[in-house]
Structure 1
Amino acid sequence: MLLAALLVGLGTLAVASYAAWLTITVAEAGAWRFVLGAATIAVVVLAVLALVPLVRGRRELARSIRAFAEGDPVAGRAARHRAAHAGWLAMGSCLPVLFIAMFTLFLLANDHAVQTTFFDVSFMALSFGDIVVAFWQNVQIAVIAEVIVLVWGLFIALARLLPGDAGRPIRWLATVYVDTFRAIPSIIVIYLVGFGLPLAGVPVLSDMSPMWAAVLALTLTYGAYVAEVYRSGIDGVHWSQVAAARSLGLSHAKTLRFVVVPQAVRRVTPPLLNDFIGLQKDTALITIIGTVDAFTQAKIYASNYFNLSSVTVVAILFIIITIPQTRFVDRLLERDARRQRAKG
């Protein structure tokens, strides 16, 4: 293990050093040369630090050999385990460093053409202002659609759970809706709503602006997904809760309202947030119906200047709003797991 970790560490150090040298000699002069140069030098330092656990591993290996020679197999196995752990630690530390070095080499590929095409700082600064203004359209559509989807998805979930023979046609209709819109890609729904309704001249719906057409399309699509999330949460509420509520004289509707749905909503909050993260990303698809969102604005810059750095700005903006939500969802899941463990 120590030998394998040493080989990986030396390979990582070689790649990082080559990336640092290439940055200084090949990268385009300016801000990117400074940024990449500082980053690759830091990577070289990290590659050297990743080899430090091997020193401790070598000492533990020597201690293990000595313990076995002295007839103490327990201490020998313990020291050998610590040596292997040091090797794994060194190897695990090298892999992220190796990834960063390889990414730097990717940016410098073809005479730094990749860096110029996707990460031109001057062009990113030029397009940043207009793209941020257009990105507000994505945020508006996402927020409005999420609010409507919360209500619409719950309505569909409850329709799928209607009891008795009288509710069977409604259950079938809700099931058909969910199955249909979960099967159709979002971009097709957006295209059909954005172009099909105006072309058909449907009253009221044909007069919608592209923004509201996008909200409707995303609501139809994600309403089906959220309905299933709600339904799984409702089905997860123990049947004794329903039985107790009904025995106290509550109707089916009041049982859902006061007993079942509040418990279900608390359980499904993390998966709901995951669906809404997907909805936010899918707002980039509204560019096909002519909405001037961030991606549309970026494409205008890209077509005028033959450079895709503006599209990279859009990607960065989506990362900025998505990662905090993802971490929040992780915390909710972790809290729920702790609660479940506490219950035994």
Structure 2
Amino acid sequence: MTSHLPSALELDRRAYRHRREQRSVLLAVVSTLAFAAIVWLTVFTTPTWAVVQESFFNPEVALEALPRVWNGFLLNLQVLGLSVVTVGVFALLIAVLRTLRGPVFFPVRVLAAAYTDVFRGLPFIIVLFLFGFGLPTIADTRIPPIVLGTLCVTLTYSAYVAEVIRAGIEAVHPSQRLAARSLGLGYVQTLRRVVLPQALRKITPPLMNDFVAMQKDVGLISILGAVDAVRAAQIVTSQTYNFTPYIVAGVLFILLAIPSIRLTDWYTAKLRAREQTGSVL
């Protein structure tokens, strides 16, 4: 067998692409260095930077605040872990109710639609006030902040996630349902074995974006009196008269979100590459 040798024209094209890639890398490095130099000259060498660094980026205060902020951050992680499960179950139920067909299910569809409209319209902080302080008042008993926080996150984000799931279910072509029913599958079996697997592949990127948003909003449970990362940072700030603990809490939330963000980008690129296979010349 004779191996295929590229033509002279193909070799010239490869050399041109290689030179263009090298030039792009060089331009990227030069522009990055130039931008870093501009930032250094306009920010870090100014007289006010020392004041900003002392108030917001103090290493000693950061080390002092880190243990307390971390202990509070663990509470945020607990609420997040519980909310992922409850939001997933409740949102799926709402989405299925919204996609039920037939006039007999009209009241159920209206209630499900009203729920999503209300909780997508209510600011999350109002939900925290209404349920975080209202429920203990009505029940006349103390409810743990982790329970109240999980409840508020579930009520709010189930509305968003339910709409994403509903959109994914309705994006599946009706022929898939008809084919499944022709094989003798019931409604639940069709939904579980045919519709949902296809829908989940389509809605995974927006679902992961909602997960990133939920990671941030669990920091608002400090309103309920929970000593989470934000409240712990507030306590240390009131003791040191320094805002560095807030930066520490913010960095923890950023580190929590970055893996999810990168995973979302990777999965979105993977789906795009699979759907556009053969379309790039």
TM-score (norm. length: structure 2): 0.85
Distance 2:34 2:114 in 1: 48
For 1:270 and 1:173, locate their aligned partners in 2 and report how far apart those are by CA, in whole Å.
27
Query: Which of the residues 269, 278, 289 maps onto 2:213?
Result: 278
- 1:246 is aligned to 181
Q: Tell me which residue corresponds to 2:32.
A: 93
The verdict on how the C-alpha distance between 1:236 and 1:112 changes in structure 2, with shifts beyond 3 A counting, is same
Residue 112 to residue 275, structure 1, CA distance change in 2 (3 Å): same
User: Deviation at 1:217?
Assistant: 0.2
1:321 to 256, 261, 267: 256
Match of 1:117 in 2: 55
In the alignment, residue 237 of structure 1 is paired with which amino acid? V
1:155 matched to 2:117? The reply is: no
User: What number of residue pairs does the alignment pair up?
Assistant: 259
Q: Kindly indicate whether residue 154 of structure 2 is the aligned counterpart of residue 219 of structure 1.
A: yes
Task: Quote the Cα distance in structure 1 between the aligned partners of 2:238 and 2:47.
Answer: 23
1:13-162 matches, cutoff 5 A = 89=27, 92-93=31-32, 96-97=35-36, 100-101=39-40, 104-105=43-44, 108-110=46-48, 112-162=50-100
Asked if residue 164 in structure 1 is aligned to residue 102 in structure 2, the reply is yes
2:120 corresponds to = 182
Q: Which has the higher contact order (CA 8 A, sep 6+)?
A: 2
1:46 counterpart residue number:
none
- CA offsets, 1:269-326, max 9 Å, x none? 2211111111110011111110110100000010111101011000111111111110
Task: Give the equivalent residue in structure 1 for 2:163.
Answer: 228
CA distance in 2 between partners of 1:249 and 1:155 (Å): 24
Moved more, 206-215 or 307-316: 206-215
Letter in 1 for 2:154: T
* Alpha-carbon distance, 1:100 to partner: 4.0
Change (3 A) 1:142 1:254: same
Is the 8 Å Cα contact of residues 43 and 49 (structure 2) preserved in structure 1?
A: no
Q: How far did residue 199 of structure 1 move? A: 1.3
Structure 1's 257 and 334: CA in aligned 2 closer, same or farther, altered over 3 A? same
CA separation of 1:299/1:236 partners in 2, compared to 1, >3 Å: closer, same or farther? same
Higher gyration radius (CA): 1
Q: Name stretches of at least 5 consecutive residues in structure 2 with no aligned partner.
A: 1-15
> What is aligned with 1:258?
193
- How far has the Cα of 1:101 moved from its partner? 2.4
* Cα-Cα RMSD: 2.4
Q: Please give the alpha-carbon distance, in whole angstroms, between the structure 1 residues aligned to 2:168 and 2:39.
A: 41
Any gaps of 5 or more consecutive residues in structure 1?
1-77
Task: Tell me the CA shift for residue 332 of structure 1.
Answer: 0.5
**In structure 2, distance between residues paired with 1:102 and 1:169:** 64
Partner of 1:163, secondary structure, is coil
User: Residue 14 of structure 1 corresponds to which residue in structure 2?
Assistant: none
SS in 2 for 1:342: coil
CA distance in 1, matches of 2:99, 2:222: 36
For residues 237 and 96 of structure 1, do their structure 2 counterparts lie closer, same or farther at Cα, with a shift above 3 Å needed?
A: farther
Aligned-partner Cα distance in 1 for 2:42–2:124: 32
Identity, % of aligned positions? 40
Give the direction of change, closer, same or farther, for the CA distance of 1:153–1:343 in structure 2 (3 Å limit).
farther
